[in-house]
């Protein structure tokens, strides 16, 4: 028998045909299947208390930053506007730069403001006057062109300027911090100075320089700077032009910038003096526009400093380990004469590398292995190098280059890594960092090409010295670097490998550049910078890595604790385990307290103790016998099952009644269809 009925669907009439006897069976089967599914779902939901649930712990930390303004009037700055999250970072979720992995840590930043009285400013200016050195130096920020044959060659002007020793200024600010309410004991202090009373570049002198004939080799500009000394500790070369900084710090939790200093060749636009910018843009301080302009200007400098030093992001995930194993393969591709002139042993200092990382992470052992091999003993690798070498002289668009394409070399080493370093580990017992330092002949360097461009150059670093690729480090240096001093009045001096090895290995374990978010961050003490060529790690490097490791262990411990609590829900109660949990919570609080006080090394130690306790608790919980389900749980389990069974019985009874009724109607009137 066929039943026909109509169903309105999306504005159209559709016909459905179902055989009643078969239909009732299908309906009953469908309901039964649904009941089985619901029963399984309810049973799993109410009976199982030990589901394998993924738990992700997160952590929120408070960060304190003091902004000190010297020579800037509070009436010219809108502090409330500066504190807006668009101007200064307030809540920051720390993520890995390469890969974007979330570390699980969120920082809430609190800012404190200090506008210093004129008396302190006068005291600072007096100190600067006592350490000032004035002279005429070649300054790469000021250039002119000189004709040589048919070409115009860019050269540096000799500029009269005043210099202050950056280390002495940083030390003075730390020792005289009471003048601005003291350094923050549990945070960073960032100092912004505006001192146009010092010998400084003026708008008129800068405008005159910018508009003069490009072949004129004199200027009236007299800027001031902060100077440092950068010496290669392998081959004793003194890097030039390190007298031209406008900021410095990071030996402790203090960094300063002089907004009236410069400009510096390292970042010309970033270091245009404030007094020049104010007059050039005709800013009237005290007006509404001028107040907003200066507030935004200061906030931009502060934003960069906060992200560079206080809350830096990791380049790669900074995995905690108890041992760093730095394996340096030096691959010497020079001629025999070059090897004799500069023995490779003089160009690298194993002790210096080990000391840098031992100080950075004192709770981890650092091993350094240096293996020296000649490329002629590795014919396959040498062929890769030769096949990817390019030398051009005065190419119209490329210029002169002498490079080896890095990517094919990387491809070869990556696929043959086990023949150089084995095993490679990255866990809590060992973090292996494979370093491959190529030493090329003459002026050859690696180049990481981009489209047609094969090289980029600056005054002291002609091409790619090193790159951290996540799995390995690749470094290139050459004989010209080893003998760099011969060309610039430093006979017998050069640049070795140690600093670049420290720098690139720092990236591999997570450290970023101090100039990642603002070029001025490179004016600081750090092996991760370029400008100062340091061999030790700065305060921001130490804080970041130690804090990251403490956070990792704390989060792992919190995850273990939650897993243990879930497991204990279905186990017999144990007073011993309860006492262990209390001790664990106390140890976690102690680790977090050490973090709040910026005692990160101690925080790592306390977090490790807590983690071991959490593992013990998990082990104890696993050994406890299963508990009998309590009455409440039995009731919770019974109610949904009884509900489903009741519905099933009701539906079955209803179907029987419907079927019986249908038969009677069919007998009374067999012609109905």
Can you give the pLDDT at residue 650?
A: 63
Q: Beta strands 254-258 and 466-468: pairing type?
A: unpaired
Distances (CA, A) of 356 to 78, 142, 235, 371: 42, 36, 18, 19
More confident residue, 445 or 132: 132
Can you give the pLDDT at residue 150?
A: 79
More confident residue, 643 or 518: 518
Mean pLDDT, range 76-95, rounded to an integer: 97
Tell me the DSSP string of 292-344: HHHHHHHHHHHHHHIIIIISPPPSS-----SEEEEEEEEEE-S-HHHHHHS-G
Sorting pLDDT into bands at 50, 70 and 90, what band is 643? low
Can you give the pLDDT at residue 496?
A: 97
pLDDT at 638 over 90: no
Can you give the pLDDT at residue 655?
A: 60
> What token pair was written down for 430?
């060992």
Across 88-132, the runs of DSSP E, i.e. the strands, are 91-95, 102-115
Measured between alpha carbons, how far is 304 from 50 in angstroms, rounded to an integer? Answer: 48
On whether the CB atoms of residues 308 and 190 are closer than 8 A, the answer is no
**Cα 97–chain centre separation:** 5
Q: Give domain limits for the chain.
A: 2-48+629-668, 62-133+164-199+222-310, 323-509, 545-623
More confident residue, 662 or 257: 257
Measured between alpha carbons, how far is 259 from 249 in angstroms, rounded to an integer? Answer: 15
pLDDT at 498 over 70: yes
Specify the range with the lowest mean pLDDT, choosing from 83-97, 160-174, 387-401: 387-401
Can you give the pLDDT at residue 651?
A: 59
Can you give the pLDDT at residue 662?
A: 52
Specify the range with the lowest mean pLDDT, choosing from 72-81, 183-192, 395-404, 465-474: 395-404
pLDDT at 15 over 50: no
Can you give the pLDDT at residue 396?
A: 66
Measured between alpha carbons, how far is 530 from 326 in angstroms, rounded to an integer? Answer: 21
Can you give the pLDDT at residue 256?
A: 98
More confident residue, 53 or 271: 271
Measured between alpha carbons, how far is 584 from 587 in angstroms, rounded to an integer? Answer: 5
Mean pLDDT, range 485-507, rounded to an integer: 97
Measured between alpha carbons, how far is 303 from 294 in angstroms, rounded to an integer? Answer: 14
Cα end-to-end distance, the chain, whole Å? 8
Distances (CA, A) of 429 to 314, 318, 486: 21, 14, 46
The per-residue pLDDT of the chain, averaged, comes to 87
H or E element, residue 643: helix 631-668
Candidates 509, 515, 544; CA nearest to 529 is 515
Number of alpha carbons in the 13 Å side-chain half-sphere of residue 388: 21
pLDDT at 637 over 90: no
On whether the CB atoms of residues 176 and 54 are closer than 8 A, the answer is no
Specify the range with the lowest mean pLDDT, choosing from 255-264, 454-463, 595-604: 454-463
Which positions ≥6 away from 669 have C-beta within 8 Å?
none
Helices and strands, number each (H, E), in the chain: 17, 19
pLDDT above 70 as % of the chain? 82
Strands laid side by side in the 365-374 sheet:
365-374, 323-332, 431-440, 473-478, 466-468
pLDDT at 449 over 90: no
Cα angle 287, 304, 206 (rounded to 5 degrees) comes to: 60
Measured between alpha carbons, how far is 192 from 196 in angstroms, rounded to an integer? Answer: 13
- For the chain, give percent helix, strand, coil, nearest 5: 45, 25, 30
Sorting pLDDT into bands at 50, 70 and 90, what band is 636? low
pLDDT at 153 over 80: yes
On whether the CB atoms of residues 539 and 250 are closer than 8 A, the answer is yes
Sorting pLDDT into bands at 50, 70 and 90, what band is 454? low
pLDDT per residue over 343-382, tens digit each? 999 999 999 999 999 999 999 999 999 999 999 999 999 9
pLDDT at 28 over 70: no
pLDDT at 304 over 60: yes
> What token pair was written down for 432?
């292996």
Mean pLDDT, range 621-636, rounded to an integer: 68
Mean pLDDT, range 213-218, rounded to an integer: 92
Sorting pLDDT into bands at 50, 70 and 90, what band is 312? very high
pLDDT above 90 as % of the chain? 76
Q: What phi and psi, each to the nearest 5 degrees, are found at residue 25?
A: -65, -40
Can you give the pLDDT at residue 43?
A: 42
Mean pLDDT, range 184-210, rounded to an integer: 97
Can you give the pLDDT at residue 114?
A: 98
Measured between alpha carbons, how far is 643 from 39 in angstroms, rounded to an integer? Answer: 10
């Amino acid at each position: 028998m066929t039943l026909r009925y109509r169903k309105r669907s999306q504005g159209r009439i559709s016909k459905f045909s179902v055989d009643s006897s078969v239909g009732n069976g299908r309906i009953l089967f469908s309901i039964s299947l649904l009941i089985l599914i619901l029963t399984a779902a309810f049973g799993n939901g109410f009976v199982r208390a030990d589901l394998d649930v993924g738990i992700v712990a997160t952590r929120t930390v408070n960060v304190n930053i003091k902004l000190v303004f010297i020579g800037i009037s509070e009436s010219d700055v809108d502090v409330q506007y500066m504190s807006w999250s668009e101007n200064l970072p307030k809540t920051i979720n720390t993520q890995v730069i390469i890969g974007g992995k979330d570390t699980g840590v969120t920082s809430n930043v609190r800012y404190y403001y200090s506008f210093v009285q004129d008396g302190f400013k006068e005291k600072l200016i007096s100190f600067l006057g006592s350490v000032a050195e004035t002279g005429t130096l070649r300054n790469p920020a000021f250039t002119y062109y000189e004709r040589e044959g048919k070409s115009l060659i860019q050269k540096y002007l000799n500029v009269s300027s005043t210099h202050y020793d950056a280390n002495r200024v940083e030390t003075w600010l730390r020792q005289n911090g009471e003048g601005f309410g003291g350094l923050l004991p549990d945070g960073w202090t960032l100092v912004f100075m505006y001192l146009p009373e010092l010998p400084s570049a003026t708008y008129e002198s800068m405008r005159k320089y910018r508009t003069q004939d490009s072949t004129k080799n004199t200027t009236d500009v007299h800027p001031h700077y902060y100077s440092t000394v950068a010496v290669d500790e392998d081959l004793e070369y003194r890097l030039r032009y390190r007298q031209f900084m406008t900021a410095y710090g990071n030996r402790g939790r203090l960094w300063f910038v002089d907004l009236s200093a410069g400009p510096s060749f390292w970042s010309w636009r970033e270091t245009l003096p404030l007094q020049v910018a104010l007059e050039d843009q005709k800013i009237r301080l005290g007006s509404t526009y001028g107040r907003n302009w200066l507030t935004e200007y200061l906030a931009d400098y502060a934003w960069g400093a906060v992200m560079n030093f206080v809350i830096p992001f990791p380049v790669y995930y900074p995995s905690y380990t108890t041992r760093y194993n730095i394996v340096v393969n030096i691959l010497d591709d020079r001629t025999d004469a070059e090897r004799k002139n500069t023995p490779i042993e003089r160009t690298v200092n194993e002790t210096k590398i080990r000391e840098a990382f031992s100080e950075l992470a004192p709770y981890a052992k650092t091993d350094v292995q240096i293996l020296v091999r000649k490329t002629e003993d590795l014919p396959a690798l040498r062929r890769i190098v030769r096949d990817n070498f390019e030398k051009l002289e005065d190419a119209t668009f490329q210029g002169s280059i002498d490079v080896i394409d890095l990517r094919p070399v990387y491809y070869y080493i990556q696929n043959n890594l086990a023949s150089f370093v084995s095993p490679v580990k990255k866990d809590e017992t060992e973090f292996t960092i494979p370093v491959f330092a190529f030493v090329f002949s003459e002026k050859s360097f690696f180049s990481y090409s981009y489209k047609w461009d094969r090289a980029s150059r600056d005054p002291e670093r002609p091409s790619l010295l090193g790159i951290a690729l996540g799995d390995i480090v690749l470094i290139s240096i050459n004989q010209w670097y080893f003998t760099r001093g011969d060309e610039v009045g430093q006979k017998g001096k050069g640049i070795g490998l140690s600093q670049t090895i420290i720098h690139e290995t720092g990236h591999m374990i997570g450290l970023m550049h101090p100039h990642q978010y603002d070029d001025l961050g490179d004016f600081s003490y750090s092996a991760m910078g370029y400008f100062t060529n340091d061999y030790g790690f700065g305060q921001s490097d130490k804080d970041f890595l130690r804090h990251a490791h403490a956070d990792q262990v704390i989060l792992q411990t919190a995850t273990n604790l939650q897993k243990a609590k879930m497991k204990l829900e279905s186990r017999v109660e144990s007073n011993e385990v309860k006492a262990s949990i209390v001790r664990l919570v106390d140890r976690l609080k102690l680790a977090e307290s050490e973090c709040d006080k910026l005692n990160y090394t101690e925080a790592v130690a306390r977090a490790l103790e807590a983690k071991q306790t959490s593992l013990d608790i998990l082990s104890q919980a696993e050994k406890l016998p299963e508990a009998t389900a309590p009455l409440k749980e039995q009731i919770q389990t019974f109610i949904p099952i009884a509900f489903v069974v009741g519905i099933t019985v009701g539906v079955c009874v209803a179907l029987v009644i419907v079927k019986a009724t249908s038969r009677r109607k069919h007998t009374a009137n067999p012609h109905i269809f």
